[in-house]
Amino acid sequence: MNLKLILSLAPGLVIPFIGSFASEPSTNSQPQQPAHTWEIITFAETLPDGAYRPLFCADWGKPAGGVSQGFRLNICGGIPTGFFKTNVISARMFRANGEIVEPTAESKGLLNSPGYSGSFGVVAASVETCFPWATNSLGESWIEVSMGKERYWLEIPYGFDRNPTQPLPPSIPRGPPKFVPPLKSIIHHNHVLRWQAVHYDLGVIQNGWRLSLIQSNATEAQSEVILYREDIKIGTSTSWKLDSPTTALRILDGSGKTIGSHCIDVHVEDGGMERISTYDIARDGDDQRCWGQLEISVDDKSYRVVVPSSLYKYAHGHASAN
């Protein structure tokens, strides 16, 4: 999912960011204090059969300078402009403990109050709604979205249906995520949408560069480390080099062990301003759901972000029916 495309289709979408570890690093190589400050969760642009569908994404509903409104669902595009004349959208959240949650009273009406935006001459509608936070735990959840005759089930990885400003909950021996009971008997016009990636902004680092992360875990966990700079002059020595600065990535698991990775690709995008390094995370899995620290090294500086094990443990990324 292209985050820039999502933002262009949903101009009202405010991406949250807490800069507790985003400032210029200290002069030593010690990692800065980590925080669980995820940015956005994206979903695949097409259904498993290749059919196009609305663009879904989620964030934690924190307007700039405000207080979090809850877990926010955005339908960022792909809704025909005439849809709301004859159809309505509804949404419910299903949690692993059996709880079924309606959107907050303040945001429920927003599902059928579209905003409109245009790109390349195409006008698209977008809507949003918020769900109250769950208890502070490592539980998975699903969001059921009904749009006319179609019903979509959005998978939310465990560790994200909780207020990220609260202290991290303890580890639990619950194993990989599971389907909620209603999903065990899928019928026609039901579409299961797996989460695709979680985006993190680690902020400004040395030399005025910006560091971000895109984390996925379809089965084998993978990390995209993105270095961004604006002082690029195409064809000059200021352009990114593929071998400098050097980067590395590892995960410090909640059990105390270290999970390594290896780089499989490095390339430059966005007119030379972004350098993207892709890492495959070593296969490692058990029944413990916990919090790990993903550490990114850029030359002699290190930066950490706290992530739930749903993003890196083998078989913990997507639910199974077993």
The residues that bridge with 143 in the sheet, in sequence order, are: 93, 154
Both 15 and 136 in one domain: the answer is: yes
Assign residue 259 the CATH number of its domain: 2.60.40
- Long-range contacts of residues 166-173, Cβ cutoff 8 Å, at least 24 apart: 166/136, 167/136, 168/36, 168/291, 168/306, 169/136, 169/137, 169/138, 171/138, 171/254, 171/288, 171/289, 171/290, 171/291, 172/137, 172/138, 172/288, 172/289, 173/287, 173/288, 173/289
Residue 165 near residue 153 (C-beta atoms within 8 A): no
pTM for this model (two decimals): 0.87
Residue 237: predicted pLDDT: 59
51 compared with 252, residue with greater pLDDT: 252
The CA distance from 171 to 137, in Å, is 9
Both 193 and 273 in one domain: the answer is: no
pLDDT band at 242 (very low <50, low <70, confident <90, very high): very high
Both 185 and 220 in one domain: the answer is: no
Structural domains of the chain, count: 2
Both 49 and 97 in one domain: the answer is: yes
The CA distance from 309 to 292, in Å, is 6
Q: Is residue 108 assigned to a domain?
A: yes
Q: 283-298 pLDDT, tens per residue? A: 998 999 999 999 999 9
By CB atoms closer than 10 A (0-12, 13-18, 19+), residue 195 is: buried
